[in-house]
Amino acid sequence: MTDHFKERSTRNYHQKQLFTKEELEQREKLCKYEDPPFCSAACPLKLDVKTMLKEVSEGNFEKARSCLEHISSFPEILSYGCDAPCTKKCRRNELDATVNIPGIERAIMHYSMAPKGKGLLKFRKRQKIGIFGTELFTLVLAAELANKKYPLTFYTEANDVEDLLNRCIQLPQDISDRQIRIIRSLDMKICFKQKIDDAFFEEERKQYDIVCAAETFKKEKTDPVTLCDSRNAVFPADEKRYGKVLQAFFDARRAAVSVERLAQNLDPHNTRPAEGETESHLFTNLNYIPEEPAIPENGIYSKEECIKEASRCIQCECVECFRGCAYLRAFKRYPRILTREIYNNTGIIMGDHMMNKAMNSCTLCGQCTVTCPNGYDMAEICRLARENMVDTQKMSLAVHEFALLDMLFSNQEGFLCRKQPGYDTCRYVYFPGCQANGIAPLTVYKTYQDLMNRVEGGVALLLGCCSVIAKWAGRKELYEEQIAFLKEQMQSLGNPVMIAGCPTCKTSLQENFTVKGLWEVLREIGLPEEYKKINEEVIVHDACGARSDPDTQEEIRAIAREIGCQLKETKWSKDLTGCCGYGGLVSYVNKEVADLMAEDCIKEDKEHTYLTYCMACRDRLYRQGVKAVHYTELLYDQKADDMPSLSQKRKNRLMLKQKLMKEVWKEESMEETIPFTYECSEEVRNKMEERMILESDLIQTLLNYRENHAAVYNEADDTLTATHRIGNVSFWIRFREKENHYTILSAYSHRMTVRIR
């Protein structure tokens, strides 16, 4: 058998690809977080509308202006003449009315100053460019290319700059003045008063490397993408999709790309950026957005009006997974990027695995798959990544060892498998689950008594762990060993139907056994007579193990109603439920995230009692400070332990086993006695709990000390400190000794070994 608890070496050079490139892409593309908002997707110039409106809403008009300057040399012309396809796609249309994006653009241009300076130093290009004809397309293109430092000559029939602008577009005087200043500042040669006919065009074009011209000189169809004709001269597009102004700007943008490619002696089709409007698959949940009427634009918006109108932008983004999942929020990464980082993490052969903590902090509860409009399965990715790291011996044993040992404790010292007395074969076997055994042993005891009394055909008992812990830890081999062990035990019972007490056990065990939920059986045979009538409004906290299991969710609600509860549903009821933080072993690996998860479960309502049907949920929600109760506690009027320590959970499992053996099977079990007594203050116990040091570790260390007397005596405070290595951990206990009694002062541990050299 493999030694699952042998520490690995950091000097292993194994690597195994987590996903093929195709599978990675397939998984990643489900996450649409990075898809552009609908307004930007509709804009052929790719204006970053969302950022622009955000800046305006915060009063940063200069920063908002830079978004406009970024897409064009003449943003003001655009703000007056654009037919704004963005407004047609604005999601606010479905609520009230679109955000007035062009109105805000006009206000931005009105209230902000043109940027000073010339930006980055650009090297002057060599290829000479000739631009022929007067229209908005040629003017905008000339400005684009002049800004890219091409030696440029612009031939126009106009008499001067003012005339040039007027021939291109009619603007109000003040705006026109500002545009004239821009044209004058451009680094290009303008040849005014040219009579440009075909002959002139044919003659003059010879002296230029690249030629761009107005519509009138076009003699043949141009390429719809590059806008080039057969002689690689660049013209406005044949097909007009937008209004005159926007079309001219869009054509100029595409023409400039073609000129750049031609200047590099490349095919103009070569590596072009995405052009024109695109389709966005972003999901914007409008359920959370209040209605807000549009601010009418009379003339130019006042600054205040403009800020108010820009604040109406809902800042489209898909955060459905973030809303429910504290883990994603804690790591501040949306699933696609998290997947990529985890994927890269598994590929690291040497060096720091920065995302180990991230992959081990997912509770694997599957909530994201339900909340994501595309069903992104982050849990599966994290689980596979853990398996991958275990396979390549890159997964630290330290992160999951405690939980794995706890599982083995449940399936060894705490394990019990017996047929119901008086039955050769049993129809059922009750499997309460390790958490119920550890947290509510007496409730489990009473439940089993009831099942034995009332279920026909005999009910055997299996106290143990369903082994999902090994699966969560990514330890496939160990999981399979444990399942094989459970199969053996089930065979010895004649393979009865399992009655799972826990929804997670049920889901996990179903892969190998026939399983029913305890709740189903109790509904079939009727509730026990002694149940506690509750006349109270409660919230059913659904277990993540029962996600996509509406029958279980309904059975529990029916039981709750039968015992008198009135049910209050929350936003996170049923399939949308979040994990309490126990799942995926997160409470062992990342306590902060586990606590955030538990807090998320109760944040909506801290007054009502939470009725749970998973004992781990009951325990974790109770620790979070709300009234939490497992339905079996009510049915059998037998309380679970409130906040049992890790040691207490183990003691409870042993106590339950011994009590059952003694009272049901009349077998006396050997109780281990320790030859000394000890006491720990509350503070020491808390420290031990936090450091995951069990009382059994403490006892072992003291037993070892009593045998070999190895310890350090501190004369200053009259204390002894003894050490003992158990498995991969060295435990240190500081104490005072008085005959056979020990007062424990502190306990600590480390995984490193230490020796003299």
Partner 1 sequence: MAIEKTYYSLEADKHLVCHKCGVHLVKGNAVFEYLDNAFPVELPVCPVCGFVYVPEELAMGRVLSVEKVLEDK
Binding of residue 726 to partner 1 (CB under 8 A): no
- Evaluate whether 158 touches 134 at the Cβ level (below 8 Å): yes
Contact between 398 and partner 1 by CB under 8 A: the answer reads yes
Q: Are strands 459-463 and 719-726 parallel, antiparallel or unpaired?
A: unpaired
**CB closer to partner 1, 286 vs 349:** 349
473 closest CA partner among 583, 355, 633, 316: 583
Check residue 99 and give left, alpha or beta (phi > 0: left; psi -120 to 50: alpha). Answer: beta
Task: Write out the H or E segment, with its range, that includes residue 260.
Answer: helix 244-263
Per-residue tokens: 436: 């119920």
Using rule CB under 8 A, residue 13 touches partner 1: no
Q: How far is the CB of 346 from partner 1 (least distance, A)?
A: 13
Smallest separation (angstroms) from partner 1 to the CB of 704: 12
Question: Whole-angstrom Cα distance, residue 634 to residue 137?
Answer: 78
Q: Annotate 503-550 with three-state secondary structure.
A: HHHHHHHCCCCCEEEHHHHHHHHCCCCCCCCCCCEEEEECCHHHCCCH
CB of 691 to partner 1, least distance (A): 8
What is the closest distance, in whole angstroms, from the C-beta atom of residue 529 to partner 1 in the complex?
53
Indicate which single residue of 72, 100, 179, 356 sits in contact with partner 1 (rule: CB under 8 A): 356
**Per-residue x/- marks for partner 1, 633-672, CB under 8 A?**
----------------------------------------
**Residue 714 in the binding site for partner 1 (CB under 8 A):** yes
Handedness of CA 153, 157, 160, 166 (dihedral sign): negative
Contacting partner 1 (CB under 8 A), which of 278, 311, 645, 721? 721
Q: Which contacts qualify for 20-27: CB closer than 8 Å, 24 or more apart?
A: 24/339, 24/340, 24/343, 27/339, 27/376, 27/377, 27/381
Query: x/- site string to partner 1, residues 358 to 397, per CB under 8 A?
Result: --------------------------------------x-
What residue type is 629 in one-letter code? Answer: V
Q: Is 749 in the site for partner 1 (CB under 8 A)?
A: yes
Give yes or no for residue 15 binding partner 1 (CB under 8 A). Answer: no
The contact pattern for partner 1, residues 409-428, with x = CB under 8 A and - = no contact, is --------------------
712 interacts with partner 1 by CB under 8 A: yes
Contact residue for partner 1 among 124, 184, 332, 755 (CB under 8 A):
755
Segment near partner 1 (CB under 8 A), from 302-310, 348-356, 498-506, 565-573?
348-356
Among 124, 288, 716, 738, binds partner 1 (CB under 8 A): 716
Taking the alpha carbons at both ends of the chain, their separation in whole angstroms is 34
For residue 674 the two structure tokens come to: 């320790």
Nearer to partner 1, 11 or 231 (CB): 11
Out of 152, 164, 711, 744, the only residue in the binding site for partner 1 (CB under 8 A) is 711
Please tell me what DSSP assigns to residue 136.
H
Nearest CA to 585 out of 360, 424, 270 is that of 360
Distance, CA of 195 to CA of 203 (rounded, Å)? 13
CA distance 402 to 521: 34
State in angstroms the smallest separation of the CB of 393 from partner 1. 10
Residue 739 near partner 1 by CB under 8 A: no
One of 2, 9, 265, 298 touching partner 1 (CB under 8 A): 9
Q: Kindly identify the residues of this chain, within the stretch 102-161, that bind partner 1 according to CB under 8 A.
A: none
Residue whose entry in the numeric block shows the structure tokens 């545009």: 179
- Give dist(CA 131, CA 133) in Å, integer: 7
d(CA 171, CA 174): 8
Q: Is 8 in the site for partner 1 (CB under 8 A)?
A: yes
Residues near partner 1 (CB under 8 A): 7-11, 350-354, 356-357, 396, 398-399, 691, 708-716, 720-721, 723, 730, 732, 734, 746, 748-757
